[in-house]
Structures are given as C-alpha cells and as structure tokens.
C-alpha cells in the first residue's frame, strides 16, 4: 500500500522548499510513496487555514510534515484529525503563542510595508535565517539557498507576506495539547536556529511520552534547504517502520 507524506511550507515558501528532500527520498526509499505539497491558503483566519488544509488530507496513516509557520499549522491539523495521521514531523518550529516583542515587531513590519511598500526579503533577514558560518564554509551552497529564498519570496509577493504575518500573529500554544495525543511527534531543530529555542522546547516536552526533539548540527532555521539529508533520513526511517 502506498504511503503518503503531506508537506506544509513556512512563511513565503512554496514547493521549492521541499525539492532537495523529495529527490533524496526518491533515492533512499524504493517503494511507492506519494509526496503532496499543501500550500498555505492566502486568505482566511488561522482556523480557516487549518480547517481548509485538514480537508485535503484524505488518506489514513499519513505522515504530516510542517516547516516553520507550516509546523504550527501542521500541529493544529494533527489536533483536529489525529485519526488520519500516523506521525507528525515539526521542522524549525515550536508551536506556541508569539511573545509580545514578536507581535510588536510584526505590527511594525506591516505598517512599514503599508507606508513604503515591499521590495523583497532583505539580505540581513536571509542571513539571520541561515547558519552564521554557511557563507564561509559552504559558499556555493549558501548562494543556491539564497537564490531559492529570494525566488520564492518574489513569486509569492507582498499580499501573501502580509496575510501570513497577520494570520499567525495571535495564536494559542499547542504543545500541552499535543502531548496528550497518542500520535507520535518528532521535532527537528537546527543547532543555530535563531527563531526556535531548543532548550525551552526540550524542557516543555520532558514529560511527553509521544514527543521527541532532535537537534540538527550545523543548521540554521532553513533546515529543509540547509540540511535536507537530515529530514530525508528521518522520513525514510518513518516510512520503513510503517511498511
């Protein structure tokens, strides 16, 4: 029986985020496997986004993967339809409510764009998303990742950015509810991810029997692009176990 993995991207990302993982999965897993990209809807509230994507998961025993904002959305979907999910994989995200400082920053960003427009993702932002030494250690790899980030951002555009910033601003913490599921959950976080506090995540799940967190070395926030082998290996292991 064919296995299905559903992938939900992060802010200003599309299916190009997953291409390296899909290629590696094709090389590592010889049996039939359906890989389905679920883009984040460009309208609606968070509840409507979650509900709309949950309806697209129609196969049982599906693996659900979410990156960054997509990790939060995937967590909410797993809480909504746990009977259809065999394993939840959350990448570069801690599904909790945003701190006040982040909410204020997002509001400033939205106000800035409304006043001055949007000319694309700044280089400083890209640098903050990646491992701090990637330019020096892997210059060619850095250039390829940067080009992908810039291209995804440009193609999705400012309206998508504004919606994603606003729709995810006020959101409830989900970790406590996730820990009460029987559904197995894996968190993958880069060791140099500036947006996810791995020690805090590990502390919050210390008593959760169904949740495990894994640190990916030499990786920033953009784990699917920086360390695709780590995610592909994790998914391959899950597919083999479920076979």
Tell me if 177 is assigned to some domain. Answer: yes
Of 176, 185, 180, 189, whose CA–CA distance to 218 is shortest?
189
* Tens-place pLDDT, residues 119-158: 999 999 999 999 999 888 788 899 999 999 999 999 999 9
* Tens-place pLDDT, residues 163-184: 999 999 989 999 999 999 999 9
Tell me if 37 is assigned to some domain. Answer: yes
* Residue with more model confidence, 140 or 18: 18
Tell me if 205 is assigned to some domain. Answer: yes
Question: Tell me, what's the pLDDT at 139?
Answer: 80
Work out how many domains the chain is built from and give that number.
Answer: 1
Tell me if 129 is assigned to some domain. Answer: no
Tell me if 168 is assigned to some domain. Answer: yes
Residues spanned by the domain of 231: 3-99+164-242
* Tens-place pLDDT, residues 21-65: 999 999 999 888 999 999 999 999 999 999 999 999 999 999 999
Residue 191 CB neighbour total at 10 angstroms: 13
Tell me if 189 is assigned to some domain. Answer: yes
Distance CA 206, CA 101 (A): 26
Name residue 187's beta-bridge partners. 90, 213
* Tens-place pLDDT, residues 72-96: 999 999 999 999 999 999 999 999 9
pLDDT at 242 over 90: no
What's the burial of 101, exposed, middle or buried (CB within 10 Å: 0-12/13-18/19+)? exposed
Residue 30 CB neighbour total at 10 angstroms: 7
Tell me if 137 is assigned to some domain. Answer: no
CATH code of the domain covering residue 58: 3.40.50.1820
Tell me if 155 is assigned to some domain. Answer: no
Structure tokens at 75: 């967590």
């Amino acid at each position: 029986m064919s296995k299905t993995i559903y992938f939900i991207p992060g802010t200003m990302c599309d299916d190009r985020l997953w291409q390296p993982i899909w290629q590696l999965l094709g090389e590592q897993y010889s049996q039939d496997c359906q890989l389905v990209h679920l883009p984040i809807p460009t309208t609606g509230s968070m509840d409507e986004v979650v509900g709309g994507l949950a309806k697209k998961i129609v196969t049982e025993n599906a693996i659900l993967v979410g990156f960054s904002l997509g990790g939060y959305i995937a967590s909410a979907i797993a809480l909504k339809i746990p009977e259809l999910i065999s394993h939840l994989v959350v990448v570069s995200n801690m599904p909790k409510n945003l701190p006040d400082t982040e909410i204020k920053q997002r509001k400033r960003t939205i106000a800035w764009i409304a006043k001055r427009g949007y000319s694309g993702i700044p280089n400083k932002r890209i640098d903050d998303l990646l491992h701090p030494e990637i330019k020096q250690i892997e210059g060619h790899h850095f250039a390829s990742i940067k080009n992908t980030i810039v291209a995804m951002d440009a193609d999705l555009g400012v309206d998508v950015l504004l919606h994603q910033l606003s729709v995810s601003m006020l959101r409830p913490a989900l970790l406590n509810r996730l820990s009460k599921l029987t559904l197995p959950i894996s968190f993958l976080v880069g060791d140099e991810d500036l947006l996810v506090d791995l020690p805090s995540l590990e502390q919050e799940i210390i008593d959760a029997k169904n949740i495990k967190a894994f640190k990916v070395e030499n990786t920033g926030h953009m784990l699917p692009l920086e360390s695709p082998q780590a995610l592909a290996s994790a998914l391959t292991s899950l597919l083999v176990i479920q076979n």
